[in-house]
């Protein structure tokens, strides 16, 4: 398939988008969200590096900026200071223009410094992931061009780089507007659906808001958090250490 103008089957690039997109979801949920932001789980260095590298390739985001924005969301959930509340900004505004709300929030450097404390600041973060953050997605484009050619390569790349935006819009928008609640908390967070697979367990958003420190998002017997399943497997293999979790 390398250098081919068309793949042998259209399902090959589509499957590639779905598989790599799922890994984007997992990396964002496990590494950025549950580990770095809320400190609920710690991964072995090779696991963390793999997720960091993929997020660099697929998103071009700053870890510190993402973490700061999300921590501010938890500090002021659905209040005027919330960076991306559909209650304050409107559901369709968050669903369609959520990336602009995010960019506006992280442009506040004082906010990033205040809420981004404790983020990785090792040599790799300073001299590679942050310093060359804008180059990852272009390298990913080059890889896709080699794999799928000049017609399907950009199509695959676009699906990959938009995946993280899609996750954010769904969680920040629908996760505070539509769904059911297990716990009455001081915000409008909801569980979108009880089976958390499509966006790696982030569907169980009300459960998360009721206990942000826990890396396990499922609470009821009928709920399934695929992110917690991966954490449990990594823990069994000695590649993850859960600092705190609860089903209450």
What is the tens place of the pLDDT at every residue in 27-80? 999 999 999 999 999 999 999 999 999 999 999 999 999 999 999 999 999 999
DSSP conformation class of 38: T
Q: Which residues pair with 73 in a beta bridge?
A: none
**Helix (H, G, I), strand (E, B), or coil: what is residue 134?**
helix
Contact status, residue 32 vs residue 67, Cβ threshold 8 Å:
yes
**Helix (H, G, I), strand (E, B), or coil: what is residue 154?**
helix
**How far apart are the C-alpha atoms of 20 and 9, rounded to whole Å?**
18
pLDDT over 70, % of the chain: 95
**How far apart are the C-alpha atoms of 172 and 68, rounded to whole Å?**
15
Q: Which pLDDT score, from 0 to 100, does residue 194 have?
A: 97
How do residues 177-193 score in pLDDT, each as one tens digit? 999 999 999 999 999 99
How do residues 92-110 score in pLDDT, each as one tens digit? 999 898 889 999 999 999 9
Average pLDDT, integer, range 212-220: 95
User: Model's pTM, two decimal places?
Assistant: 0.91
Q: Which pLDDT score, from 0 to 100, does residue 244 have?
A: 77
Element housing 65 (H / E): helix 63-75
Tokens 């390569």 sit at which residue?
153
Cα atoms in the 13 Å half-sphere on the side-chain side of 74: 18
Mean pLDDT of the chain: 92
């Amino acid at each position: 398939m390398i250098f081919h103008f068309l793949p042998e089957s259209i399902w090959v690039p589509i499957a590639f988008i779905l598989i790599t997109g799922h890994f984007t979801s997992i990396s964002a949920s496990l590494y950025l969200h549950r580990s770095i932001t809320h400190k609920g789980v710690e991964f072995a260095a090779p696991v963390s590096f793999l997720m960091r590298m993929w997020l660099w390739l697929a998103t071009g985001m700053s870890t510190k900026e993402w973490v700061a924005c999300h921590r501010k969301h938890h500090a002021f959930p659905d209040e005027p200071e919330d960076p991306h509340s559909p209650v304050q900004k409107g559901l369709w505004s968050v669903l369609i223009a959520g990336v602009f709300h995010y960019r506006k929030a992280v442009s506040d450097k004082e906010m990033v410094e205040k809420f981004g404390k404790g983020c990785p600041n090792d040599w790799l973060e300073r001299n590679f992931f942050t310093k060359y953050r804008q180059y990852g997605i272009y390298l990913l484009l080059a890889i896709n061009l080699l794999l799928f050619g000049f017609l399907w390569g950009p199509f695959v790349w676009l699906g990959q780089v938009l995946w993280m935006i899609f996750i954010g819009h769904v969680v920040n928008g629908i996760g505070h507007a539509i769904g059911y609640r297990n716990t009455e908390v001081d915000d409008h967070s909801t569980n979108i659906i009880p089976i958390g697979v499509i966006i790696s367990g982030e569907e169980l958003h009300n459960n998360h808001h009721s206990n942000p420190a826990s890396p396990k998002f499922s609470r009821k017997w009928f709920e399934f958090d695929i992110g917690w399943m991966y954490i449990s497997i990594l823990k069994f293999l000695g590649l993850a250490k859960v600092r705190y979790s609860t089903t209450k």
